[in-house]
Amino acid sequence: MGLFFYPTSRTKGEQNMKQSKLPQAAQWSVEETMKQVDGRLDGLTTQEVTDRTEKFGPNALAGKRQSTLLEKFIAQFKDLMIIVLIVAAIIAAATGEAVDAIIILLVVILNAVFGVFQEAKAEQAINALQEMSAPNAHVRRNGETVTLKSDALVPGDIVLLEAGDIVPADMRLVEVASLQIEESALTGESVPVNKDLVAVTDTSVGLGDLSDLAFMNSNVTYGRGVGMVTATGMETQVGRIAGMLDSTQERKTPLQENLAHLGKVLTILILVVAVVVFVVGMIRGNESLINMLLTAISLAVAAIPEGLPAIVTITLALGTTRMAKLNALVRRLPAVETLGSTDIIASDKTGTLTQNKMTVEKVITAAGVVDAATADGATATTDQGALATVLMLNNDTKQTTDGLVGDPTETALIQYNLDHGVDAPAFLAEHERLAEIPFDSERKLMTTVNKMSTTGDLWVTVKGAPDELLKRVTRIQVNGQIEPLSNEKRDELLTINHQLAVQALRVLAFAYRPVSEVPSEMTSDKVEQDLVLAGFVGMIDPERPEVAGAVEEAKAAGIRPLMITGDHADTAKAIAVRLGIIEEDDQAGVITGAQLDQISDEDFEAKVKQYSVYARVAPEHKVRIVNAWQKQGKVVAMTGDGVNDAPALKAADIGVGMGITGTEVSKGASDMVLADDNFSTIVVAVREGRKVFANIQKAIQYLLSANLGEVLTLFVMTMMGWQILAPVHILWINLVTDTFPAIALGLEPAEKNIMQQKPRGRASNFLSGGVFGNIVYQGLLEGGLTLLVYWLALTFPAHTASAQMHADALTMAFATLGLIQLFHAFNSKSIHGTIFTKQLFKNRAFNWAILAAFVLLAATILVPGFNSLFHVATLDLFQWAIVIGAGLTMVIIVEVVKLIQRRLHKN
């Protein structure tokens, strides 16, 4: 029935997307196509559509099965640290510490709920985005033309195509009228393909050469056509690639690697410390087996940062929420942090660095070159006016309620006149087109014959490539007068053409010839001769105005922007220079796809650092670019919108899909989707990613230093034979004074110099940059101050009764260990910077978190019933002063150390 799927081979690990065999439909004649798919030109009947829908299913891509909420929930418990926590809860419950067990399990479940919620939220957003991108199709059914969703198509359907349509399925064309289709989603080539009805017999050509076929998700840019559907859903060329992606392996993100490493290290340390304390206690013989087992559990609880998984998840979720508001939709939580470590941003040019909208930038007449913004309107009595008149007459653009529809070049010409206050539809209505010679890729010209309402004459108008049109021009309009075109002037115009082309402008020439009647023979030889040159226009897909600033910011942050495009090298370099990606004199920084094919993987990896612009490349080259940079140890972000971009998006550390122009396959393969297809949004996302990493790092430093202080306190208490803090004390401190401030640290605003720092690199981790040393000395300081307060309470007791004295000492140690962490939370607002700035109280969530944590901690001591539940005593004002003094001492010492660190770093 004409549904064909051909496997694709992958060579050298590059997942090459080239065709291994032509779709058979390309070799069929129109008549044979109707036989193969059992179709008719007047369309299928309702019953035939029903039968074929049951047989072939909907015309939609089958994505990976989405996991259920229960499966998402269970998956949250696969983390090593979570498993250790669950084991600790089981042991606590088995030894009668039910409160401890419940608190641990509540923290674990809270983390799982947050993870499930964010994953489900991201999936819903992507599904909504894909639903919005599903095109409508104009289909002939039961002899009538109807409009329906593309997923309702079946093989044999007759689809009507016109400029502006998205091709809804793979089809064999059965009628064409100047039809051009842009197939960059599959081929990577942005130039539209001229379509015809001639069957393709050469089986060695690629998809871009199949002029008799139209492919799903390609765009009709010009003309009209009719196609008979030969393949739907996963049997289309798009579906073939979508199916292949399911087997592509994904790399672990730096965040996942960091947390996995941290979890292993902590687990080992926890086990070692717990075993040592247990063995020493048993050897001393002062404690029972049960008591020492509870002590070991207390140490394990003290060492495990229970809140860390939840804090990481919440911080990432907050980051994704902020990024969504900035037009960056993150599909996987760890991708937020990975963005912050990005070294390379490899970006498509069209639509991402540029506006994906051709614009007239220069106008050239006999008088010279002027900016389009200062050019005259369409009045034929002036040179610029004559040019503007020809721009509109020689044009097939349609103006609809949705805007201009047609070839991007032609819509730019109409927009130029609209920008100058010309009512283009009214003008064209007054200048009826009487005849035409369509554009031909061989002669590179298009010709029309129009009525001229002002003179009653007819004008032959011609547009095309300057070098071709100048061969047919004998005269030129100068100051409203027609004069012979001299050889000197011709050479001058050709020089201008070259200069503009080097500046990345696409130059078109326009000419006209007054005639009294429509030529009897509408051929190039008879009509396109003895023309009057009206002038040239230089057009460009202009860079987005905000991108140059984003490129500069990326460079300042140590990130290297790369441009990847299917355009010619000169055009690519000119745009790259305008954006600041490369310098004007950087000749070695540009490489073409053809040159890249001549370089081995080994040589390319050795030379990859010298290239910043990749011109005339196909999407399959992107995988080589990603692999080469990753082998240099770099974290790579890669953009893409086409189906063939999907393997590169998967291979990159951050695959960035396009929300507007992107295909469903490219969006599905991406870690992040840009709602505005804008490069500057990537840089904004990188800034947010860096902030997320910095805030997670602050939280980790805060949590681990606090937990080290707890471990040191319990360890020394055990070794000294002192009464030790109970597991419920440690769990309450960890839940209240650790978790709330640590979560609030995730809301800290970015530090001012965050985008002046170099990327930290794949080899770095959360303990890099002096954080490990900070954790050690700050943890020792917290534990030392707590033990000092405990010793002071025992040495200089407020009460003489031994039991009350020990109760006061234990309570003061409990209060100090909790309050000292709250004071230290302020230290952790910056890893190395001072906290004594105007920003100290800017984070309102942090302020409330500290206040809430203090109230909850104080309640365990001050509120009757609570103090008995937690086995603590009531403290007097002097004892509270000692506790608060220890907390202030922590702040002062850490700030002095940070000052010394900054001074040493400067020197």
How far apart are the C-alpha atoms of 594 and 604, rounded to whole Å? 13
For 272, half-sphere exposure in the C-beta direction (CA atoms, 13 angstrom radius) is: 6
Burial label, 102 (beta-carbon count in 10 A; 0-12, 13-18, 19+): middle
Pairing, β 481-484 against β 506-515: unpaired
The H-assigned helical ranges of 519-620 are 524-527, 547-556, 569-579, 593-597, 601-607
Strands (E), 47-189: 136-141, 144-149, 158-162, 170-182
Both structure tokens of 103: 């608190």
Both structure tokens of 482: 């027609």
How far apart are the C-alpha atoms of 439 and 805, rounded to whole Å? 99
Residue whose tokens read 């441009």: 563
3-state secondary structure of 129: helix
3-state secondary structure of 481: strand
DSSP code of 748? P
For 455, half-sphere exposure in the C-beta direction (CA atoms, 13 angstrom radius) is: 12
DSSP code of 749? P
How far apart are the C-alpha atoms of 752 and 734, rounded to whole Å? 31
How far apart are the C-alpha atoms of 743 and 747, rounded to whole Å? 7
How far apart are the C-alpha atoms of 530 and 549, rounded to whole Å? 49
Query: How far, CA to CA in Å, does 66 sit from each of 70, 119, 750?
Result: 11, 11, 35
Both structure tokens of 367: 């008088």
| H or E element, residue 538 | strand 531-540
How far apart are the C-alpha atoms of 782 and 53, rounded to whole Å? 70
Pairing, β 398-400 against β 403-405: antiparallel
Both structure tokens of 422: 């010309």
Query: How far, CA to CA in Å, does 854 sit from each of 39, 349, 416, 652?
Result: 76, 53, 65, 45
Torsion from C-alpha of 696, 701, 707, 709, nearest 10 degrees:
-160
DSSP code of 457? -
Cβ-contact 653, 342 below 8 angstroms? yes
Note if 348 is an active site residue.
yes
Query: How far, CA to CA in Å, does 386 sit from each of 336, 357, 366, 393, 479?
Result: 54, 24, 12, 11, 11
Both structure tokens of 185: 């989603």
Catalytically annotated residue among 170, 348, 671, 808:
348
Query: What is the chain's alpha carbon radius of gyration, rounded to the nearest angstrom?
Result: 35
- Name 624's Cβ contacts closer than 8 Å, sequence gap at least 6: 14, 596, 601, 604
The residues assigned a catalytic role are: 348
